[in-house]
């Protein structure tokens, strides 16, 4: 049971203020947002920063709900529909982090899209957003990359991401979005 203490210490070291691991549904998302909103409200944070953090959280959670692999748990596999959502806060920034399984065949395109997005400046992101709205059919899952573009625009930072191998068919997609605590 020492892992509980080790987990607690790791979370304290990383300044984690909220974490949820499990299956993500619209109901779960509402509960997480409600808890996070209360936490932000009680922190005394500036309202413009709270708004940015909340907007990034909404997009990140919607990304998990809409785009996690639909695979269920397989015997002998680490794969499940389970995902993770964390928020941390230090003196300089908030970090919204997510992790969820995705199919390996989607990794190359997602990497290309995120690298392209990260290469853009503020004006480039604005144009990218308009271009997606104008020229793309929104898929049945609700996305066309708009969520990632919106997170980058709201945060004003590059999106950090990695893919951790899970099994022959899936990787675990880890995303981190930093939001500065300094007023613009």
CA 147 to chain centre: 10
Predicted pLDDT of residue 76: 47
Residue 80 token pair: 């499940």
Distances (CA, A) of 31 to 58, 67, 154, 168, 170: 12, 19, 22, 33, 28
Task: Report yes or no: 150 and 129 within 8 Å, Cβ to Cβ.
Answer: yes
33-45 residue pLDDT tens: 999 989 888 888 8
Q: d(Cα 105, Cα 71) in Å, to the nearest integer?
A: 14
User: Any idea which of 52-61, 73-82, 137-146 has the lowest mean pLDDT?
Assistant: 73-82
**69 pLDDT more than 70:** no
CA 46 to chain centre: 22
Q: Which residues of 85-120 are buried (b: 16+ CB within 10 A; e: fewer)?
A: bbbbbeeebbbbbbbbbbeeeeeeebeeebeebeeb
Task: Report yes or no: 126 and 153 within 8 Å, Cβ to Cβ.
Answer: yes
Helix 146-155 crosses helix 47-67 at what angle (to 10 degrees)? 160
129-141 residue pLDDT tens: 888 888 765 554 4
Domains present along the chain, CATH in parentheses: 2-180 (3.30.565.10)
Which has the closest alpha carbon to 51: 61, 42, 40?
A: 40
Percent of the chain with pLDDT over 70: 86
- Scan for tokens 């409600």, then name that residue: 34
Considering the entire predicted model, what is its pTM?
A: 0.88
Q: d(Cα 132, Cα 138) in Å, to the nearest integer?
A: 9
Distances (CA, A) of 114 to 63, 68, 160: 14, 17, 9
């Amino acid at each position: 049971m020492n892992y509980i203490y080790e987990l607690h210490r790791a979370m304290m070291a990383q300044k984690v203020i909220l974490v949820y691991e499990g299956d993500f549904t619209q109901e779960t998302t509402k509960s997480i947002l409600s808890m996070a909103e209360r936490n932000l409200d009680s922190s005394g944070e500036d309202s413009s920063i709270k708004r940015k953090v909340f907007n990034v959280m909404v997009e990140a959670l919607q990304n998990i709900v809409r785009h996690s692999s639909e695979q269920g748990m397989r015997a002998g596999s680490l794969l499940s529909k389970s995902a993770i959502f964390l928020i941390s806060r230090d003196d300089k920034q908030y970090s919204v982090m997510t992790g969820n399984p995705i199919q390996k065949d989607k990794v190359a395109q997602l990497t290309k899209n995120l690298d392209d997005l990260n290469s853009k400046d503020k004006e480039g992101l604005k144009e990218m957003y308009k271009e997606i709205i104008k020229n793309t059919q929104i898929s049945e899952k609700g996305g066309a990359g708009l969520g990632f573009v919106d997170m980058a625009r709201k945060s004003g930072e590059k999106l950090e991401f990695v893919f951790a191998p899970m099994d022959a068919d899936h990787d675990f997609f880890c995303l981190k979005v930093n939001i500065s605590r300094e007023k613009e």
